[in-house]
């Protein structure tokens, strides 16, 4: 029987294993981010995300203009960061609304035009050693 000697295990990224962080000046707890989407509109790359507001945290709209860095970290099955993206927004919008007709969750939606995306890579060899 031949022995496999040059094997690197792969783990597909799952869409529900991520952490989003803004720069330290804007302290939104990571667990409040519920989803994100990255796409292009013509020459612009757009990043959209949303957070839930809670009794412990509600977003201050004036903080929108303090957001200078966004980091998305992708996680493996045990929650270790394996790679991600970091970028600076060059344009931003946010929206949240509340209505007495709706008893749903209070959500803040963000949209950024992305400038200067930097990939974050973790050394895959250290991850592979766990197997």
- Confidence (pLDDT) at 9: 72
75-86 mean pLDDT: 90
Q: pLDDT averaged over the chain?
A: 88
pTM of the model: 0.83
Domain boundaries, the chain: 18-124
Adjacent-strand bridge partners of 120? 84
pLDDT at 123 over 90: no
Confidence of residue 76 (pLDDT cuts 50, 70, 90): confident
pLDDT at 37 over 90: yes
pLDDT at 26 over 70: yes
Task: State both tokens at 119.
Answer: 């990939």
Note the pLDDT tens digit of each residue in 96-106: 988 898 888 99
Confidence of residue 11 (pLDDT cuts 50, 70, 90): confident
The proportion of the chain whose per-residue pLDDT surpasses 90, expressed as a percent, equals: 65
109-115 mean pLDDT: 96
What are phi and psi for residue 16, nearest 5 degrees? -105, 20
CA 88 – CA 116 distance, rounded (Å) = 6
In 3D space, the residue among 72, 69, 71, 73 whose CA is nearest the CA of residue 89 turns out to be 69
- For residues 27-60, one letter each, b for 16 or more C-beta atoms within 10 angstroms of the residue's C-beta and e for the rest, the string is ebeeebbeeeeeeeeeeeeebebbbeeeeeeebe
Cβ atoms of residues 83 and 122 within 8 Å: yes
CA 107 – CA 58 distance, rounded (Å) = 9
CA 92 – CA 67 distance, rounded (Å) = 9
């Amino acid at each position: 029987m031949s022995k496999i000697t040059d094997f690197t295990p792969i783990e597909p990224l799952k869409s529900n294993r991520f952490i989003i962080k803004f720069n330290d000046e804007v302290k939104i707890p990571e667990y409040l981010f519920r989803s994100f989407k990255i796409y292009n509109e013509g020459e612009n790359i757009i990043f959209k995300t949303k957070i839930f507001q809670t009794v412990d945290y509600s977003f201050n709209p004036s903080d929108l203009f303090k957001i200078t860095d966004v980091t998305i970290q992708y996680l493996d099955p045990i929650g270790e960061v394996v790679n991600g993206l970091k970028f600076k927004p060059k344009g931003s919008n946010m929206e949240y609304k509340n209505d007495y007709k709706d008893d749903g969750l209070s959500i803040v939606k963000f949209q950024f035009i992305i400038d200067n995306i930097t990939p974050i890579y973790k050394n895959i060899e250290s991850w592979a050693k766990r197997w």
